[in-house]
Amino acid sequence: MVRPQAGRQKGASLTRDTVHALRIEIRHLGPDDAEVLQSVNADVFDNPVDARWAAEFLADPRHHIIVAIDAGCVIGMITAVNYVHPDKAPQLWINEVGVAESHRRQGIGRRLLDAMLAHGRTLECTEAWVGTEGDNIPARALYESGRSAPEDFVLYSFNLAKPLP
């Protein structure tokens, strides 16, 4: 255990994991931040970061990425797209959340989600939504801890790299 910080309730204590999580920087990246994505823990994204796609993503004002950084290395991220539709107010689609295995269960995913939801509010989005696999228990726990409940949803995926039959 670590001694409580000044201003904390008397008798309160912090675990080493909590103190470590508090040192994690949560940062919203912009067009000039491509270099931040050059140092990423291998299990944060599904694939290695491609500098060309990263630059395009960061240059697009409707694309958003917030990262968690520990000792100069990205150990977590959340990405989203804000969009408008002719009959709906702006919405925020949260595409993906990833936290390095070494940093899970420390509240980093929650901090990333809260930061993206707050950012969506600044964009005047009226709703944010995210999907996940039914058996992805950690993701479902994260989203449900954000005062949201699952909805029935069916997803169809089209492989555009191959011609349709």
Could you report the per-residue pLDDT of 59-86, keeping only the tens digit for each?
999 999 999 999 999 999 999 999 999 9
Q: What is the pLDDT, as a whole number, of residue 82?
A: 96
Q: What is the pLDDT, as a whole number, of residue 66?
A: 98
* Structural domains of the chain, ranges and CATH numbers in brackets: 16-145 (3.40.630.30)
Share of the chain above pLDDT 70, in %: 85
Q: What is the pLDDT, as a whole number, of residue 147?
A: 75
- How does residue 15 score in pLDDT terms, banded at 50, 70 and 90? low
For residues 2 and 50, the model is more confident at: 50
Residue keyed to tokens 């699952």: 150
- Most distant pair of Cα atoms in the chain: their distance: 68
Q: What is the pLDDT, as a whole number, of residue 152?
A: 79
pLDDT at 137 over 90: no
pTM of the model: 0.82
